[in-house]
Chain A
Amino acid sequence: MKLKVPSTAGTMESNDVLVSIKPAKSGGIQIALQSNVMQQYGRRIREVITETLEELGVENAEVEATDKGALDCTIRARVAAAAYRAAESSDYHWEAKK
């Protein structure tokens, strides 16, 4: 998946995460994370964001995530939505998310 434009997905509501993605030429997946559960889940949130983008074939991106205690499934959904918007793609592959 090739990212073309900056995009966002998600909200600042409790148990949600606001994800902004900017295309990047190099540097891999850079994540700037803010979370109200940083101590307990910061590591896991970064892991889920990276995994989701890698699964979509995104190699370089600048990600800003403001997390309000979202569960893993929510984080995956928001990151994927932001990535598709950044790629200006609607070629969704619907599946039951793990």
Chain B
Amino acid sequence: MDLKKIPHIEEIGNRGVCSGKVTKTSATFDERTKGENKIVKDLKTAILASGLKDGMTVSFHHHFRNGDHVLNFVMDTLAEMGFKNLTVAASSLAGVHAPLIQHIKNGVVTHIETSGLRGELAEEISRGLMEFPIVFRSHGGRAAAIESGLLHIDVAFLGAPSCDPYGNANGYSREDDDGIACGSLGYARTDAKYADHVIVLTNHIVPYPNAPFAIPESSVDYVVEVEDIGDPAGIMSGATRYTKNPKELKIAETAANVVEAAGYLYNGFTMQMGSGGASLAVARFLRQKMIDQGIHARFALGGITSQICAMHEEGLIDKILDVQSFDLDAALSLKKNHLHQQIDAVYYASYLHNSAVNKLDFVILSALEIDTDFNVNVLTGSDGVIRGAIGGHPDTAEGASLSVIVAPLCRGRIPCVVDHVQTVITPGAAVDVLVTDQGVAVNPNRPEIAEKLKAAGIRVTTIEKLRDRAYAEVGMPDPIHYTDKIVGVAMYRDNTVIDVIRQIEE
């Protein structure tokens, strides 16, 4: 064949003429699977094969929450192998990750990226453990950083409750029902797609094909079978229970009324509930309104809980978009309900796309503190110590047409409505309404909402009055003293710097 006779062959792509040679085998599928697969004998082998070097970036997901054993196991192994100056880019970190403190002290880990920090590690970092400030990103911000190359992952270590020998990994398994189930692997999927090398750690090798899979084999380089990926009790337990706290219930009921009065409860609406007792309880009050009015939601987004799944099964919510399953019921719903769709972090909230958060009518979000400019802090406690996570807070607050913050006026002696938040995570411009147990305040940017709430008989006050009331109840707190040292940098969802966290002075 003379390729030159084909018109425009250079533009079509000239890789020559087919030789006729093909690779064929007569072995059965069963025999092939035993011979050719990505399972390596242990983690060290996988690490060596990945070509990881000092100073590189390793990533982890937080779908195992406080039950995670993968990050500590991998970091212990990397320390043993003598790696130094690593960046740990986790989608989030929990109390269980306190052993990182030792790896930081020994120079194994010199940089951290995360959505949040809790427990001992957070205490130590707030007291100046690290030289290089921690980078805090929202879930959407992290996804955007990864896909744009701002955050380059050299090797992703992804724990998976099931994986086949070729690397198709999932957060549950349809092979049997007794394994660990974390549900969605939404954050891990982004890492798997963009990391240079991907190592899946699983306690459960299932036959090919592990369908459905969250992470396709094309993204995976090595599979390591380990006995223990985590503690099932810490990974997730049963259903998230409805709060019985009367204060939270009152806030939740008011928030549902606010959504309705503001005009965002209509047939085909879309919603997300953030974590936290009052926020999750809003679903209960919305459910009754939906039944009474004969309307249903087009989709519910986000961290998904048992309540959302129950409403889906009742026919009140058409579809679920699940980047992270918050409880076992949600994980099991993902497994059995075919309109319960797993999504990745980019699809969820990356600002580089018209992502799912941009299609929200409303979101209900918690806050540690909110100030009179409606700026919200979900990361640092009132004592200045890091104790939370950004999560999807700024992503959904900006994306949703109506963002409602639910918070008690005071938690114990700690005022939640203050003059200035310790750390700005979500800017006031993205926040529309504050619902407390002692009143509702509307951002002056949204006068039309205030009018609608008043017309519906909801008593609206100003955020300054709520602040005054909080201080009258608990007294004016003394200011927290910080040193000049910056221990953390908080990014907005577009990865611009929104605030810094300083070392606390004692």
Contacts and interface: CB of A to CB of B under 8 A. Distances in A.
Contacts of A15: 412-413
B414 A39 contact: no
A67 to B, nearest CB: 9
Given A15-B412, A69-B414, A71-B413, A40 B480 contact: yes
A69 B478 contact: no
A90 interface: no
B477 A41 contact: yes
Contacts of B480: 39-40
A41 B384 contact: no
B412 A40 contact: no
B221 to A, nearest CB: 47
B382 interface: yes
B478 A44 contact: yes
Nearest to A36: B412
B298 to A, nearest CB: 41
A25 interface: no
Most chain A Cβ neighbours within 10 Å, of B412, B413, B414, B477: B413
How many B residues touch the partner, as a band? 10 to 19
Given A44-B475, A71-B473, A72-B475, A39 B384 contact: yes
Given A68-B412, A70-B413, A41 B383 contact: no
A37 interface: yes
Contacts of A38: 383
Contacts of B456: none
B9 interface: no
A68 B478 CA distance: 17
B474 interface: yes
A26 interface: no
Nearest to B414: A37
A43 interface: yes
A40 B414 contact: yes
B478 A43 contact: yes
B384 A37 contact: no
Interface in B365-385: 382-384
B383 A39 contact: yes
Interface string A57-77: 000000000001111100000
A45 to B, nearest CB: 9
Contacts of B382: 37, 39-40
Contacts of B473: 71
Contacts of A72: 475
B259 to A, nearest CB: 31
A14 B412 contact: yes
A39 B478 contact: yes
A41 B478 contact: yes
B475 A41 contact: yes
A71 B383 contact: no
A60 to B, nearest CB: 27
Contact of A69 (B384, B412, B481, B504): B412
A63 B417 CA distance: 33
Contacts of B384: 39
A71 B382 CA distance: 16
Nearest to B383: A39
A71 B475 CA distance: 8
Contacts of B413: 15, 37, 40-41, 69-71
Interface string B412-451: 1110000000000000000000000000000000000000
Contacts of A37: 382-383, 412-414, 477
B413 to A, nearest CB: 4
Most chain B Cβ neighbours within 10 Å, of A37, A39, A43, A68: A39
Most chain A Cβ neighbours within 10 Å, of B478, B480, B481: B478
29 contacts: A15-B412, A15-B413, A37-B412, A37-B477, A39-B382, A39-B384, A39-B478, A39-B480, A39-B481, A40-B382, A40-B383, A40-B414, A40-B477, A40-B478, A40-B480, A41-B474, A41-B475, A41-B477, A41-B478, A42-B478, A44-B475, A68-B412, A69-B412, A69-B413, A70-B413, A71-B413, A71-B473, A71-B474, A71-B475
Interface of B: 382-384, 412-414, 473-475, 477-478, 480-481, 504
Interface of A: 14-15, 36-44, 68-72
Given A36-B412, A37-B383, 17 more contacts: A14-B412, A37-B477, A39-B382, A39-B383, A39-B384, A40-B382, A40-B383, A40-B413, A41-B475, A41-B477, A41-B478, A43-B478, A44-B475, A68-B412, A69-B412, A69-B413, A70-B413
